[in-house]
Chains A and B, each alone.
Chain A
C-alpha cells in the first residue's frame, strides 16, 4: 500500500506527493485528469471530502463500504460547515495539486468552476448509470456536455402554507398563481387569526439565497438571468417582470424584517405562526412538524409546488454532486465509491436517515418513503420543473453581482430598470467566453 501522510495541502507536501507520484508511475500526472475520460485507474485507499455531516449517518455508510472493500478503504475528511469555506479548502488542495482529496462532495453551482480549472477528472458516461436519476439533477453535474460529477442529493424550494388558516378562510386548494396567493392572504387577513400575520416570504437577504429568489422570480416569468447561450439576458420584458414582482412583493407582502432573515430566520418566522405562505427548502418539513414545542405550526401546514404568474412557478435546483479530484490517486476506486453512494440502495438509506432529497427518481414514488416523507411527490414535481442557477466558471463573481443589483432593486434603492441594465453590464464580461 502506498500511502502518503497528509499534511493539509501545503506546498511541501504537494512537492513530495508529486515526486512520489512520478516514482509510482501508475498515474499519468494531474494535468491530464481533467481533460480525458476513461483514464480512471488505480485502486486503493481513498478519501471522501465533504462538509460537516450533522446526521452522523455518513460514517455508517462508509463503514459498510469499508467492510466490503478492505483493500480500498475510504476515509472521511470533514470540512467546515460553511459552503464557501469548503470550496476554499478544495481549491487550495487543487492548486497545490495534492492527492489528499479523492472524492469531492460539490455544491451544484461549483461544477463549472472546478471543471473549467481542470480540477476534476472527467467521468465516463458509459460507466455510470444515470438513467434512474432525475434529469434536472444530471445537468448540474455537466460542464459543456461532459460529465464531471454525479448527483448525490437534490433540493428544490417548495411553497409551505398554513393549511389550517386556508381551510378556515374556505380555500380548499393551495394557490397556483401569485394572484391566487395574494387573494388568499387578503381573505385570511380578515379572519381573527389573520391579525399580525405576514403574507409571504422568500429570502431577500444579501446572500446566495437572494440569487436563488431572483432566479426563481425571473424564471417563473419566463425569463432567465443567463440565457441558454451563456450570455446574460436581463434586457428582456420577462426579466423585468420577474424582478418587479420580487420588489413589489417585498414591499407589500413580506414581513418588515425580511431583508434580515436568512434561511433559519425564515424557518423561525414560519414556525412561530406568523407567516401564511413561505418559499422554503424541504429540510424545514420535519423541523416544523416536530411535536417538541419548538414549532407552533406542527400538523397545521402543508406543501405545494411554488406558484407562478399564470401557473406553477419554476423552482431553483440545490443539492450536491460527487466528483473525483483530478489529482487523486486510485481514481477507479473513487468511481466505484461514487457509484455506491449514489446508487438507489444508498440513497434510500440516506433519505430514511437524514431526510436529504435523493436524486433517484423511483424513491419519490416509493409508498414507504412517501408515508415517511409526505412532501416527496410535491418535491419531485418541483425538481422536475426546476432549473439550475446560472452556469458560470466565475460563479462567485456572477452571484455577487446578482446579489448587489437585485438587493438594490428589492430594497427600492435603485429602480428595477436601472438595476437590470447595471447587472447586464456587469455580467457581460463575467460570462464572456
Chain B
C-alpha cells in the first residue's frame, strides 16, 4: 500500500500544477487510501480489537457470587475494578497462579529447546537427497498431522502404569499421576508432536540456500561442521527464528495436551490457560478473563523481547518495501 501511494504522488502533484493543489490532492489521496483500507481495519477491529477489549472489560466485573435468602444466585454483574486481578495474587490463588506460571514457562522453555534441536536435525535429514526421501519426509510429518487431543490419548495409553513406556524402560513410573513424571510425559508428547513443525519450516529455509555456496565452501576446504556453522545456520536463521517464535507463542497457550494426557486440576501440569478455563467453567467469567488478560500480556512481552533481542524479522518484507519506497521518493 505504502509503495503505491508514494509512487502515485509525484505525477498527480505535477498535474495539479501548484503547491496548494498538490496538498489538497495529497490529502484526497490519503483520504481515499483510508477509505479503501477501512473495510480491512473494520474487520480487524471486529475480530481482534473487540474480543480483546471485551475480554478486558469482562475482567473488571464479577457476577453470581452471592445467594439470596431463598438460595438463588443474585443476578446481574457488578463492577469490581481490579479486584479480579488482585485476587489472583493473594492467598491460595497466588500459589496456584505462580505454580501455573512456572509450569507454563517450564513447558515453553523445555519443549521449544528440544523441538528446535530435533526439528533442525529432522530438516537436515529431510533435505538430503537419498532413496526413500519422500517416505521419510511424509513419516516425519505424521505426528504434526494428528490432532492434539488424539495424540494426547495415544500418549496416555503409552504412559499407563502397564503401558509401553514402562515396558520399554523396565520401570514402574507412574507417569499419569500428578507429580514430576507427569511433567516429563507432557514434554515428551509435546516434543514428539511439534518437532515436525520446526523441521518443516527449517526445511523450507534450507531449500532457499543456493547449492553453489556449499560448493564454494567445499573448494575452500570447509568441514561439514564448518559448513553447517557458517553457511547453513546463518542462512536458515530467519526461517528458524520465525518457527521458534511461533512455537513459543503456541507453547505459552498450551492446554489440550496436558488436559487430555494428565487431566485438569493437576498441580504438576496446570498451565495458565487451564486455570482460566477452570474459572470460566465454574462461571467466574470475570476472573477467567483476568487470567486470560495476564496471559495475553505475558505472551506479548515474550514475543516483544524475542523480536528485539534475537531480531526475528517477522515483518521484514514490509520493512524492505518501506525502505525501497523511501528511496523512490528521494
Contacts and interface: CB of A to CB of B under 8 A. Distances in A.
* A interacts with B: yes
A395 to B, nearest CB: 9
A117 B282 contact: no
Interface residues of A, number: 33
B283 interface: yes
A144 B73 contact: no
B67 A433 contact: yes
B160 A116 contact: no
B225 interface: no
A261 B161 contact: yes
A256 B71 CA distance: 44
Contacts of B64: 117
Interface string A15-43: 00000000000000001001100000000
A115 B162 CA distance: 43
B92 interface: yes
Interface string B254-294: 00000000010111000000000010011100000000000
Nearest to B64: A117
Interface stretch (A155-163, A302-310, A374-382, A400-408): A400-408
Interface string B163-192: 000000000101111110000000000000
A257 B162 CA distance: 9
A115 B92 CA distance: 29
A257 B172 contact: yes
A376 to B, nearest CB: 33
A84 B281 contact: yes
Contacts of B71: 115-116, 143-144, 393, 433
A396 B73 contact: no
Contact of A206 (B73, B75, B161, B263): B263
A260 interface: yes
Nearest to A31: B75
B72 interface: yes
A88 interface: yes
B95 to A, nearest CB: 11
Interface in B51-76: 64, 67, 70-73, 75
A401 B75 CA distance: 25
Given A257-B162, A397-B282, A205 B177 contact: yes
A35 B72 contact: yes
Given A118-B73, A393-B67, A260 B174 contact: yes
A91 interface: yes
A176 interface: no
Contacts of B176: 260
Interface string A204-220: 01110000000000000
A128 to B, nearest CB: 21
A259 B262 CA distance: 12
Interface string B84-95: 000000001000
B177 A116 contact: no
Nearest to A257: B161
Contacts of A196: none
A36 B70 CA distance: 12
Nearest to B69: A433
A144 B281 contact: no
A426 interface: yes
Nearest to B177: A259
Contacts of A115: 71
A404 B161 contact: no
B175 A260 contact: yes
Interface in A386-433: 393-394, 396-397, 400, 403-404, 407, 411, 426, 433
Interface in A266-283: none
A34 B72 CA distance: 9
Given A205-B263, A260-B176, 10 more contacts: A35-B70, A116-B67, A117-B64, A205-B177, A206-B177, A206-B265, A260-B160, A265-B161, A396-B281, A404-B267
The 8 closest A-B pairs by CB, nearest first: A257-B161, A259-B177, A396-B282, A144-B71, A260-B176, A260-B161, A260-B177, A117-B73
Interface of A: 31, 34-35, 84, 87-88, 91, 115-118, 143-144, 205-207, 256-257, 259-261, 265, 393-394, 396-397, 400, 403-404, 407, 411, 426, 433
